[in-house]
Amino acid sequence: MVLFALVASHQNVDLNTVARLSTGALGLSEEMVRSGPLRGAVTLSTCNRLEIYGELEDTPGVPSGAALDRVLAELAEQIGSRAGLDPEFVADSLRAFTDSGAARHLFTVVSGLESAVVGEREITGQVRRALNDAQQAGTVSGKLQRLFEAAARTARKVGTQTALGERGRSIVSVALDLADDVTSGTWTSRRALVFGTGAYAGATMAALRDRGCADIEVYSASGRAEQFTENRGGTPVGTAELAAALERADVVIGCSGGSAPMGAAAFPAGSRTVVDLALTRDFDPAVADLPGVELITLESVRVAAPDETRESVDAASGIVERAAQEFAASQEARDMDAAIVALRKHTMAVLDAELEKVTSHHGCTAAQEQIELAMRRMVRSLLHTPTVRARELAAQGRQDEYITGLAALYGIEVPAPAAEESAPPAAGAPPEAATRSQAAG
């Protein structure tokens, strides 16, 4: 089985491209699993990245490398078609990782080492939600389930064994720090208006309260503001009240990623700070040209994000590397288990055929039982050394040599593991998919 990851993030493309690619990837994982090319898939979409993790379905007679190239080309074609982008541009925008490289990348991401704010902990929850969404959609294969479980363990180790992220910095906190620098007054006296009811909106509400902001209004174009504020506090704002809420607000924070950005003409005159944390923009960039308006974007946050100490990053990187090696070793051992089962099945089939001959020739006698017992003991003895050797080679990363040897000596083709049942939804998994963005409003 081949695991792969396709990645477009703030590290290799601009955020506008990330947003367009994310739009093109909506629902694509589910389609690719149901139509057959993929055994499983999980899509991670955040304000900074689009990542598609997949496990290839075996195709008899097709080398895994060729099958992977075909699937990657199909994904690029589909994303490009849906997003209105050239497939070659899409392919160039996506970095590909396979097997241990895919695991290492996910472990690096979930630990906060690739975030715009290095060490931020929001990414851990975003990865967990991506897995939950895939479980709800029934697209998680057993191998992907194990990969994401290992990623969660790695993130916990980084959180408990290093100082990475201990200062609590996040995209939201850095954005609010920037807003604090350019907004008059203090948070206790400021009025805030939040667009959206997704994960980032919830994190923003919590961060505003932590800073002493008590006057928070919430607007949702989808009409979920009232339910959202019941659980988190704040005052819901309807469409008819939006203009008045904008007039009152000292700080306007966009977290929804609505389909059409609000234009500059919708903003009343006056001084205010506008913070746009939505991947697909909640506000037209022309807002920055309005008199008295300061616009803070995700790009602003990325540039302003402070560096973590080298010691913390090195320690976290070491944990990630060890976790990636352990995951690779565990997968190699599972592959070798399949080879051992194939050898045992082959050998016992030969034995059963021989016993069938004995029974046919001599009939049912006590001697048959003695012969069967002796032959089975003989087979177990013959299998002992090959079984021990299989484990030794797996530990050395040489399982391919063993599998090739079986084919050369016995003509045994080691079958791929049977398709595993999709992992059940995790307890507490959210009822609605969020693959389009963590900031759905």
Average pLDDT over residues 95-110: 94
197 annotated to bind ligand? yes
Q: Is 199 annotated as a binding residue?
A: yes
Domain locations in the chain? 1-165, 169-302, 322-408
What fold, for 1-165?
Beta Polymerase; domain 2 (3.30.460)
Known catalytic membership, residue 213: no
Q: Which CATH architecture has domain 169-302?
A: 3-Layer(aba) Sandwich (3.40)
Q: Could you write out the DSSP letters of every residue in 298-318?
A: HHHHHHHPPPPPHHHHHHHHH
Looking at 47, 213, 255, 364, which residue is catalytic? Answer: 47
pTM, full prediction: 0.67
Whether residue 217 contacts residue 235, with contact meaning beta carbons closer than 8 Å, is answered with: yes
Residue 217's DSSP bridge partners are 193, 235
Cα–Cα distance, 435 to 198 (Å, whole number): 12
Provide the 10 A C-beta neighbour count for residue 221: 18
Q: Is 122 annotated as a binding residue?
A: yes
Scored b (16 or more CB within 10 A) or e, 334-345 reads bbbebbbebbee
Tell me the C-alpha distance between 312 and 425, whole Å.
Answer: 34
User: Mean pLDDT across the stretch 353-357?
Assistant: 69
For residue 17, is pLDDT > 80? yes
Q: What percent of the chain has pLDDT over 90?
A: 50
33 confidence band (pLDDT: 50, 70, 90): very high
To the question of whether residue 120 is assigned a binding role by annotation, the answer is: yes
In 130-268, DSSP assigns E strands to 191-195, 215-219, 235-237, 251-254
Q: Is 200 annotated as a binding residue?
A: yes
Q: E strands of 58-187, at which residues?
A: 95-98
Instruction: Tell me what pLDDT residue 354 has.
Output: 66
Q: Which of 95, 92, 98, 8 is nearest to 44 (CA)?
A: 8
Confidence of residue 231 (pLDDT cuts 50, 70, 90): confident
Strand ranges (E), 36-113: 38-45, 49-56, 95-98
pLDDT digits (tens, 9 = 90+) for 242-300: 999 999 999 999 988 766 899 999 999 999 999 998 877 899 999 999 999 999 998 88
